[in-house]
Amino acid sequence: MRLLVTRPEGEGERTAAALRLRGHEVWLAPLLRIEAIEDAELGAGPWQAALFTSANAVLAIAAHRRFAELKGLPAYVVGIRSAKAAAAAGFAPVHSADGDIDALVALVAAKVQDTRRPLIYLAGEQRTGDLAGALAARGLTVETAVVYRGVMVTRLPPRVETLLATGEIDAVLHYSARSAQAFLGALTATGSADLSINIKHLCLSSQVAAPLLAAGVSSVGVAAAPNELALFECIGGA
């Protein structure tokens, strides 16, 4: 199939490589530009463990001037990619929920018994769900530090605009609600917002699909589980 991947650079390239191995033709249109917040305020510390819901947060904190205070801490992460990034950065051990934010809450609540020392959640500026609040309800203290932001890209690459206009894209893969919003905005900027209705949209979760559905897009598929392999399974029915 002819697929468009809208993930940020790096992540999108890895996804494209995996899809090409499966025989698909893939185009890239990164719609979020990831920026580390160099002077991110972390708080006083010390912390008993670090929490991650994105590999982007691992990369951002690894470049922070206070990273030495965190390196070597246990890490609790949402999925496989963030687990690999955390291990490579020097966190140990790394515990992966292999799911979504609810799965991460359940994992941390089951594993962390010390309610006296805080955990630190290294997060993005835009977040879905309330990880700190959910863990507070379990008796755990979580300090949130915003270490990166995703800046929306307002236009699609010219080649991709042409492919969409000529009907040469079969499906678009969406990994975040913000990138889905950016996609709709980029189409509006070209005066071709109606094109989104004629394409299959494959989404990592119902939260990711929400902006598309709110915009009236009817051809939306949602992965059975919030991970990339489950998303790839949707492609066969696109």
Query: pLDDT tens digit string along 22-80?
Result: 999 999 999 989 999 999 999 998 999 999 999 999 999 999 999 999 999 999 999 88
CATH number of 34-150: 3.40.50.10090
Lookup result for tokens 């690894």: 62
Lookup result for tokens 């499906």: 171
Q: Which of 148-152, 186-190, 202-206 has the lowest mean pLDDT?
A: 186-190
Q: What is the pLDDT of residues 85-136, one digit of tens each?
A: 999 999 999 999 988 889 999 999 999 999 999 999 999 998 877 999 999 9
**Whole-number Å distance between alpha carbons of 65 and 170:** 44
Does the pLDDT of residue 197 top 60, yes or no? no
**Whole-number Å distance between alpha carbons of 47 and 56:** 20
CATH number of 2-31+153-235: 3.40.50.10090
Asked if 2-31+153-235 and 34-150 have one fold, the answer is: yes
pTM comes to: 0.76
**Whole-number Å distance between alpha carbons of 58 and 225:** 23
What pLDDT shows up at residue 165? 85
What pLDDT shows up at residue 89? 97
Q: 154 is written with which tokens?
A: 């307002």
Q: Show me where the domains of the chain are located.
A: 2-31+153-235, 34-150
**Whole-number Å distance between alpha carbons of 54 and 97:** 12
